[in-house]
Structure 1
Amino acid sequence: MAPPTPAPTGHPPHTATVAGVPVDTRHWIDGTRVASPATFTDHSPIDGTPLAGIARGTAAEARAAVAAADAAFTGGSDRSGWAATPPAERAALLHAVADGVDARAEELAAVETADNGALLRSHRRGVLPRVAHNFRYFADRLLALSHDDFDTRGHTNHVSWDPAGPAVLITPWNAPLMLSSWKIAPALAAGSTVVLKPSEWTPLTASLLADITHEAGLPPGVFNVVQGYGDEAGAALTAHPDVRRISFTGSVPTAHRIAAAAAAHLVPCGFELGGKSPLLVLADADLDLAADLAVEQYDNAGQICLAATRILVEESVRDAFLGRFLDRAAKLTQGDPRDEATDIGPSIHPRHVERVDGFVRRALAAGATAVIGGAPSPGPTDAPGGNYYLPTLLTDVDQDSEIVQEEVFGPVLTLQTFPDGDEDEAVRLANGTRFGLAATLVAGDRERAARIGARLVAGTVWVNCFYVRDLSAPFGGARHSGIGREGGDWSFDFYCDLKNTVTAPKGWADHG
Structure 2
Amino acid sequence: MTTEDNAVTARVDGVEVATGHFIGGKRRDSTEVFEVHSPIDGKHLANVSRGTAADIDDAVAAAKAAFPAWAALGPEGRYPYLIRFAELILEHRDELATVETADVGMGLQMTRTHMVDRSSRNIRFFADLALKINDRVIDSPEVTNYVRFDPSGVSALITPWNGPLMLTTWKIGPCLAAGNTAVVKPPEWAPLTCSLLADLIAEAGIPDGVVNFVQGFGAEAGQALVEHKDIRRISFTGSPQTAKTIARAAADRLVPTSFELGGKSPNIVFADADLDLAVNHAVVAFRSGGQGCTNGTRLLVEESIAEEFERRLTETAAKMAVGDPRDPATQLGPLIHPVHRDRVQGFVDRAVEDGAEIAWGGGTFDQGELFYKPTLVKNIRRGMEIEQREVFGPVVTWQTFRTEDEAIDLANSTEYGLSSEVFTQSEERAMRMAARIRSGMVWVNCYMVRELAAPFGGLGLSGIGREGGEWSFDFYCDIKNIAVRKESLPRD
Q: Is the 8 A contact 1:357 1:376 kept in 2?
A: no
Q: Out of 14, 19, 27, which is 2:21 matched to? A: 27
CA distance in 2, matches of 1:305, 1:508: 52
One-letter amino acid of the structure 1 residue matched with residue 40 of structure 2: I
| 2:153 is the counterpart of 1:172 | no
Moved more, 219-228 or 442-451: 442-451
Indicate how the Cα distance of structure 1 residues 319 and 500 shifts in structure 2: closer, same or farther if over 3 A, else same.
Answer: same
Indicate how the Cα distance of structure 1 residues 150 and 344 shifts in structure 2: closer, same or farther if over 3 A, else same.
Answer: same
Alignment of 1:483-502 (within 5 A): 483-502=464-483
One-letter amino acid of the structure 2 residue matched with residue 357 of structure 1: Q
Alignment of 1:286-297 (within 5 A): 286-297=274-285
Q: Out of 409, 412, 417, which is 2:400 matched to? A: 417
Q: Is the 8 A contact 2:7 2:20 kept in 1?
A: no
CA distance in 2, matches of 1:444, 1:279: 15
Normalising by structure 2, we get a TM-score of 0.97
Q: Out of 357, 373, 386, which is 1:369 matched to? A: 357
One-letter amino acid of the structure 1 residue matched with residue 327 of structure 2: D
Say which SS state the counterpart of residue 223 (structure 2) adopts: helix
Say which SS state the counterpart of residue 131 (structure 2) adopts: helix
Match of 2:253 in 1: 265
Say which SS state the counterpart of residue 134 (structure 2) adopts: coil
Q: Is the 8 A contact 1:353 1:376 kept in 2?
A: no
Match of 1:6 in 2: none
Match of 2:170 in 1: 182
CA distance in 1, matches of 2:319, 2:136: 54
One-letter amino acid of the structure 2 residue matched with residue 415 of structure 1: W
Q: Is the 8 A contact 2:150 2:478 kept in 1?
A: yes
Match of 2:390 in 1: 407
Match of 1:301 in 2: 289
Query: Could you tell me the percent identity over the aligned residues?
Result: 53
Structure 1 residue 150: Cα displacement: 2.3
Q: Is the 8 A contact 2:162 2:292 kept in 1?
A: yes
One-letter amino acid of the structure 2 residue matched with residue 404 of structure 1: E
Match of 2:65 in 1: 71
Match of 1:330 in 2: 318
Structure 1 residue 268: Cα displacement: 0.3
Q: Out of 124, 133, 144, which is 2:121 matched to? A: 133
CA distance in 2, matches of 1:389, 1:21: 28
Say which SS state the counterpart of residue 432 (structure 2) adopts: helix
One-letter amino acid of the structure 1 residue matched with residue 380 of structure 2: V
Alignment of 1:235-254 (within 5 A): 235-254=223-242
Aligned alpha-carbon RMSD (Å): 1.4
Structure 1 residue 445: Cα displacement: 1.3
Match of 1:145 in 2: 133
| 2:326 is the counterpart of 1:345 | no
Indicate how the Cα distance of structure 1 residues 509 and 138 shifts in structure 2: closer, same or farther if over 3 A, else same.
Answer: closer
Q: Is the 8 A contact 2:17 2:196 kept in 1?
A: yes
| 2:36 is the counterpart of 1:55 | no
| 2:299 is the counterpart of 1:318 | no
CA distance in 2, matches of 1:85, 1:141: 16
Number of equivalenced pairs: 489
Q: Is the 8 A contact 2:7 2:27 kept in 1?
A: no
Match of 1:78 in 2: none
One-letter amino acid of the structure 2 residue matched with residue 167 of structure 1: S
CA distance in 1, matches of 2:377, 2:418: 22
Structure 1 residue 147: Cα displacement: 4.4
Structure 1 residue 377: Cα displacement: 2.3
**What's the CA shift string for 1:295-332, capped at 9, x where partnerless?**
11112110000000000011010001011111110110
CA distance in 1, matches of 2:97, 2:422: 32
4+ residue runs over 4 A deviation: 10-13, 506-511
Structure 2 residue runs without a partner (length 5+):
none
CA distance in 1, matches of 2:113, 2:319: 22
CA distance in 2, matches of 1:510, 1:428: 60
Indicate how the Cα distance of structure 1 residues 450 and 509 shifts in structure 2: closer, same or farther if over 3 A, else same.
Answer: closer
| 2:382 is the counterpart of 1:394 | no
Structure 1 residue 283: Cα displacement: 1.2
| 2:8 is the counterpart of 1:14 | yes
Structure 1 residue 266: Cα displacement: 1.1
Structure 1 residue 86: Cα displacement: 2.8
| 2:12 is the counterpart of 1:38 | no
CA distance in 1, matches of 2:490, 2:467: 44
Structure 1 residue runs without a partner (length 5+):
1-9, 75-80
Alignment of 1:217-256 (within 5 A): 217-256=205-244
Q: Is the 8 A contact 1:30 1:65 kept in 2?
A: yes
One-letter amino acid of the structure 1 residue matched with residue 276 of structure 2: D
Indicate how the Cα distance of structure 1 residues 473 and 507 shifts in structure 2: closer, same or farther if over 3 A, else same.
Answer: closer
Indicate how the Cα distance of structure 1 residues 509 and 355 shifts in structure 2: closer, same or farther if over 3 A, else same.
Answer: closer
Structure 1 residue 11: Cα displacement: 7.5
Indicate how the Cα distance of structure 1 residues 508 and 135 shifts in structure 2: closer, same or farther if over 3 A, else same.
Answer: closer
Q: Is the 8 A contact 1:359 1:408 kept in 2?
A: yes
Q: Out of 387, 403, 411, which is 1:430 matched to? A: 411
Match of 2:107 in 1: 119
Match of 1:462 in 2: 443
One-letter amino acid of the structure 2 residue matched with residue 18 of structure 1: V
Q: Is the 8 A contact 1:437 1:478 kept in 2?
A: yes
Q: Out of 84, 88, 97, which is 2:85 matched to? A: 97
Q: Out of 271, 281, 303, which is 1:283 matched to? A: 271
CA distance in 2, matches of 1:149, 1:245: 26
Q: Is the 8 A contact 1:94 1:139 kept in 2?
A: yes
**What's the CA shift string for 1:211-266, capped at 9, x where partnerless?**
00000000000010000000000000000010000000000000000001111111
CA distance in 1, matches of 2:194, 2:113: 20
CA distance in 2, matches of 1:121, 1:375: 26
Structure 1 residue 89: Cα displacement: 2.1
Q: Is the 8 A contact 2:271 2:302 kept in 1?
A: yes
Normalising by structure 1, we get a TM-score of 0.94
Structure 1 residue 286: Cα displacement: 1.1
Match of 1:439 in 2: 420
Match of 1:191 in 2: 179
| 2:457 is the counterpart of 1:476 | yes
